[in-house]
């Protein structure tokens, strides 16, 4: 569960700067964070005066044209970002939009790239991979946390 805290630290409080569809749904966040979602997902639309909250199933690789305008939450901040032990991802935003991405048995469901922190992904069958770039041991070695195991990258020693 340690890895779950990683994505919270990387995304929570960061504003969504850009939303686009390119080989899946791409969300660009502040602080050089990018989330790419390639598995079928659910988008929760916030309630409005005339309608309750609504959940819509979307294939981010082939979104219907009429669904694209629903992704209008650029400028909102990520208020919650968690994943389960099975790789399911849940995001909440300051304007009450939510995204839920279940793991995919056949392909990568989502990938998070962070210039300052590292990489996290939900691979096929819910297998999680996390590579940390922002953790250093007391002796100065850079530690990469991969799937819950610490690995010292000797090529990065002395950086």
Q: Which two tokens stand for residue 118?
A: 């590292």
Pairing of strands 128-132, 135-136: unpaired
Q: Which two tokens stand for residue 132?
A: 């940390």
Tell which wins on pLDDT, 1 or 91: 91
Q: Where are the domains of the chain?
A: 2-156
What spatial distance separates the first Cα and last Cα of the chain, rounded to whole Å?
28
Tell which wins on pLDDT, 139 or 66: 66
Tell which wins on pLDDT, 20 or 130: 20
What does the pLDDT read at residue 9? 75
pLDDT in tens, 91-127: 999 999 999 999 999 999 999 999 888 899 999 999 9
Alpha-carbon distance of 40 to 24, in angstroms, equals: 9
CA 100 to chain centroid, in Å, comes to: 10
Q: Which two tokens stand for residue 110?
A: 């989502």
Residues 6+ apart with CB under 8 A from 5: none
Diameter over CA atoms, the chain = 59
pTM of the model: 0.81
Across the range 131-140, mean pLDDT stands at: 61
């Amino acid at each position: 569960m340690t890895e779950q805290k990683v994505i919270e630290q990387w995304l929570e409080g960061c504003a969504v700067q850009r939303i686009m569809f390119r080989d899946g749904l791409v969300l660009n966040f502040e602080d050089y964070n990018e989330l790419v979602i390639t598995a079928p997902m659910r988008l929760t639309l916030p309630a409005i005066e005339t309608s309750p909250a609504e959940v819509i199933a979307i294939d981010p690789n082939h979104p219907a044209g009429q669904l694209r305008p629903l992704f209008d939450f650029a400028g909102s901040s990520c208020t919650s970002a968690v994943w389960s032990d099975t790789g399911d991802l849940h995001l909440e935003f300051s304007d009450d939009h939510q995204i839920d991405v279940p793991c995919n048995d056949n392909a990568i469901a989502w990938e998070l790239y962070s210039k300052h922190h590292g990489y996290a992904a939900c691979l096929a069958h819910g297998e999680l991979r996390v590579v940390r770039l922002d953790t250093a041991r007391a002796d100065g070695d850079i530690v990469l946390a991969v799937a819950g195991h610490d690995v010292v990258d000797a090529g990065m020693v002395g950086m």
